[in-house]
Amino acid sequence: MAMLDTVVQGVCLSIFSNVLAQIIDAYQKNTSYTNINLTPILQFVTYTILNTPINIVWQDLLESWFPSSQPAAEIAKSNEKPTVAAKKQGLSIQNTLAKFALDQSLGALINIPLFIGIMGMLKGQGVDQIVNTVKADFWDIYTSGAKLWPAVSLISFAAIPPNKRVIFGSIAGVVWNVYLSLKSR
């Protein structure tokens, strides 16, 4: 049920960000915004429905490989009284940095082509055109994302409970989705 809730919340944020992108696009083109174009909204909703479960599994894997909390035994080595150390669970800086590094590298290497590929398929593009778009747009999207996602990832891994990280990313991603919506036009 938690996955379904996260997908539904992500869909709502996706709709909001795409409508916002359409308003911004109309403003930039100095045209009136009178009609909502449902096609890009449905494309982003479909992408969100397909991508959110993948990201939930990814976050769960990262957390299982590199738990956020330091085991009490590690804290005990820090010369605290054993009873205090046993009750205290601290943030594992090493694991947080490992998750951050994997998310910003492997996560991006998967998510960016996945976005381009799904959106390309939804627009009726062939494999060759999608591959060319990945080649042409990957680094631009990656470097643009580097202005937002490292901070989001660090906050997420350091302060957000694992089961809330995907929705936190979706909330932060409203701005990102506006960027992607405008770029994918």
Predicted confidence (pLDDT) per residue in 118-173, tens digit: 999 999 999 999 999 999 999 999 998 898 999 999 999 999 998 899 889 888 88
> What separation in angstroms does the CA of 137 have from each of 25, 96, 164, 174?
20, 29, 30, 20
pLDDT, position 184: 63
pLDDT, position 79: 58
Which residue type occupies 108?
A: A
Dist CA 85 CA 22 (whole Å): 53
What are the residue ranges spanned by the domains of the chain? 2-183
Other beta carbons less than 10 A from residue 18's beta carbon: 27
pLDDT, position 98: 96
pLDDT, position 87: 47
Q: Using 50, 70 and 90 to split pLDDT, how confident is the model at 35?
A: confident
Higher pLDDT pick, 173 / 7: 7
